[in-house]
Chains A and B, each alone.
Chain A
């Protein structure tokens, strides 16, 4: 029973840590499936976090913050599109440029709006997304196993967590069951096939980037108005890169990408749990080594079981008409 509790809390932590990764990785999935490599997830998420926190603070509504974050991330995605889709610029450079720009942008504006240094004020109460207790969670709480799992793992997250988990099947459905998805997969694989079919390659890529912006915006809002309570300089802390890795790990497919995100998050949650705890047979391990675990684990899993992941064939290559 106690063990189950432990597992449930580690899994709940996995869910919370995994949420921004999932949102960003699926964001990357849409853009890369359309043929636009996205190294800029980090920046888009950070920008979203900044706007979400600022607007939520100024208006008192996390929903308006979320909207602002989405709007801003979309704007950055459109810049991304202008550079890479319209002007055929290098997609990786654009991503790096976005990351660097936004890293400075947030604090600069935070400073001029709130005069607090590179931060927004702390959000409190209604300025944040609250955790939601699902119906019956309290009633079922004491039911063995099922109750523990329902109350401890499934219930009690904020709305954006549920959104993230809903996004995965939804994007699977969009990708494989809709006209848009068919065209999206085609354009990342062979844009000229899409072109001769009378569909605008650029149009498709811009549409994918809009979705990409929406999801990055939600991820950003999650960081600053749901999981956290305010924007802080560099608060994305490399999660965008990790999401990109998860996307590749998941071979650009929604389900496996979700699994990869959860694996990263799980390893991190476990890492947190075993820091400062003597390990069986090994004894006390310096915390630096414990913190390595998720990364070493990832490499081992990747090299041992996953093997080669080949992305959409046209990803990274600007589309120029050719015979």
Chain B
């Protein structure tokens, strides 16, 4: 008789869990949203179509979808790195905001330097500023035991107060009402995908998708390698999973916590690359617009895995963009309803993710005629 654990003939294949289940969950979210839309007196099928078209229908819509996804990828990755190290970083909003300061300053003061150089400096600037905003809570957690949930929330508030001050009293373009900085020199703006395509004679409507999307993808790859393929990632995960074992293995949880929170903050800090350097071309008030919080849900839905985060970011990018198109085309389905739909999607795909699992397993076994007996408990 074979050892029971080593060969598992009746095991449910991975794609059932990784493909079918999420799709079912998404459908459930859409069904509930559809019911809401019906209650409001609109045609849910039509609304769904508008939403999908709005997210993927045209080149510029795809551009917007990917643009939102870009920001979410940065924050999601940032959250994931800290999470693997066992720390809960809900400071993505503030780290992104302060990171934007670093990016903005790089762009403002590099004048007419070519963009690739500015971008490198900006990446450093964003990473350093965001990193510092993660390092301090990390340091306080490691050395003083201060819980990161509290400190990072506080740092979000501190960041917004600081940025309000800087934008209103220091960086503001003199003589204007809007609390925003000077516009970056054209050379220090990130090329948008549209401009790149124009060089190849392809003309798509304007949209903010820019080369930082590539940077975000590179970050996905880098974070994947960092977490799963390097000894530093190994140490990070060891600390996150079992601090005692890490100490036993000669790994210092203190150092790991500080480093991981710094990296986490740095990744969140790169969000400004997309929003400021790629789209707004100046530092504006509250440009993070809550994405730092949604990034947490993105990371958790993506199981803190870069590939999962990429998918979850795309889903959310699509919801943001499709949702805004929805409220544009069907004004009754206003932005509040779109927010409800986003919440429903998180609820069904993230929180209620297991609700169809038993049924799905049962169905699979039925379909493949597994001989494993069902729980026929004695009455």
Contacts and interface: CB of A to CB of B under 8 A. Distances in A.
Complex contact flag A–B (Cβ < 8 Å): yes
Contact of B343 (A103, A245, A291, A309): A103
23 contacts: A79-B347, A87-B353, A93-B297, A94-B347, A97-B346, A100-B294, A100-B339, A101-B346, A101-B347, A105-B340, A108-B336, A111-B334, A118-B336, A248-B150, A249-B147, A286-B165, A292-B162, A294-B157, A296-B154, A302-B146, A303-B144, A303-B146, A308-B147
A82 to B, nearest CB: 8
Contacts of A244: 149, 153
A289 B165 contact: yes
Contacts of A295: 154-155, 157-158, 161
A245 B156 CA distance: 13
Interface string A276-308: 000000000010110110111011001110111
Contact of A97 (B40, B151, B343): B343
B254 interface: no
Given A291-B161, A295-B154, A309 B147 contact: yes
B89 to A, nearest CB: 12
A100 B353 contact: no
Contact of A248 (B147, B164, B169, B342): B147
A94 B343 contact: no
Interface string B155-174: 10110011011001100000
Nearest 4 Cβ contacts at the A-B interface: A101-B343, A308-B145, A104-B339, A94-B351
Given A93-B297, A101-B340, A288-B164, A302 B140 contact: yes
A295 B342 CA distance: 30
A297 to B, nearest CB: 9
B293 interface: yes
A256 to B, nearest CB: 13
A157 B335 CA distance: 37
B241 interface: no
A309 B145 contact: yes
A37 to B, nearest CB: 10
Given A96-B296, A100-B346, A103-B343, A245 B140 contact: no
A111 B318 CA distance: 25
A104 B343 contact: yes
Nearest to B166: A288
B149 A96 contact: no
Nearest to B147: A248
Interface of A is mostly: helix
B354 interface: yes
Main SS class of interface, B:
helix
A88 interface: yes
B344 interface: yes
A89 interface: yes
Interface residues on B, range: 35 or more
Question: Which of A79, A97, A101, A307 has most chain B Cβ within 10 Å?
Answer: A97
A102 B343 contact: yes
Contact of B350 (A79, A90, A294): A90
Interface string B350-375: 11111100000000000000000000
B271 interface: no
Contacts of B347: 79, 83, 94, 97-98, 101
Contacts of A108: 334, 336-337, 340
Contacts of A112: 40
Q: Which of the listed residues A104, A112, A241, A304 has the most CB atoms from chain B within 10 Å of its own CB?
A: A104
B62 interface: no
B350 A89 contact: yes
B69 interface: no
B239 to A, nearest CB: 16
B82 interface: no
Given A292-B161, A299-B158, 5 more contacts: A89-B351, A96-B300, A299-B150, A299-B151, A302-B144
B353 to A, nearest CB: 6
Interface in A76-122: 79, 82-84, 87-90, 92-94, 96-108, 111-112, 118
B149 A103 contact: no
A300 to B, nearest CB: 10
B135 interface: no
B301 interface: yes
Contact of A89 (B40, B158, B354): B354
A302 B334 CA distance: 42
Nearest to A100: B343
Contact of A292 (B158, B296, B342, B343): B158
Interface string B170-209: 0000000000000000000000000000000000000000
A99 B90 CA distance: 14
